[in-house]
Amino acid sequence: MEFYFDDNDFIWSVRTTDGKLVKSQFDSLLQKRWKSASEAGVCRYQLTNLQTKVLSGTFGFVAQLNANRATQRRVPQNLQKVNNSFDPIEFNFNKVAAQEVLLKPVHKEASGKMEDNAAVIINVSPLEFGNSLLVPSVTGNIPQRVTQEGLDLLVRLMLLSSDVNLKAGFNSPGGYASVNHQHYHLYYLRERLYLEKASVEHIAGPCFALTDFPSKGFAFQLHNDPALLAKNVFILVSYLCANEIAHNLFVTRGKRFDETPTDSYDTIRVFVWAREASFGVKEEIGFNPALCELAGHLLIKEPLAYEVVTEKDAAEMLDSITRPWYHQVRENIHNLFLAT
């Protein structure tokens, strides 16, 4: 069950076209065990080929109809603020069945540290192929809050993948998190997303801003140090948590901010959105604007909404829940990264 790795296993560049993809050991193991668990009935529903379309327009939004996730997933916990204490009575990942645990990532040089207690757990209400939850410390009972150590592990797992389709992200309480136990989503998406190449502008230090995307937010990129990327992103997320600002993160392979398009993606991009909070158990009619949706991957619940969704309508929603918070947070970015 343990999956041992070190920095020599990292894949720093991946192809943007399928070609003859040679799966990394990490991808092969994760996908094999995910398929086996799904076929064994661990999930609440079988994830057959989802109806998928790319919306016409500038941003290439990917819309998918997943009615099962809307009706059969576990009822989200009723979280009322960004910073909630861990409640052992509520559902948490100490309570999952053994067959839901797909692998336990362990850095070869991190014996005795948090990675020893990390687990990748299948999402029993999957949103896409391979949808799993990285829980950086299962028994540490950390509430649904980003930690620098958790981010560091997430970036390292992304670097173990040779598959351009692997995506990752995080929903805070108020940003449609459903379980108050620190976890990050992993999943594979065949379609390309605009954010993989979206233009950015420099603000301060390592922090950039999206310039031409409806979800107004901040961007970071990997150079050659996963720990430094995690540290930089954590500076911003810590500010959001300290000020009770709901947020979402999205992580993807992509082109470097300062390079022209090539056939390879040579960095990992991390996007952070401060957003309008949505507390309590709320369900939007078309889609819940969480980490996937803010990145342009729309998980739609109802056939009619799937049929009529347009880029204009989706873009207006994403802009409305991020723009005011983006401008509020941007005023503080220079101070946050003054020393970097």
Which residues are known catalytic residues? 183
What residues pair up with 188 in beta bridges, in sequence order? 166
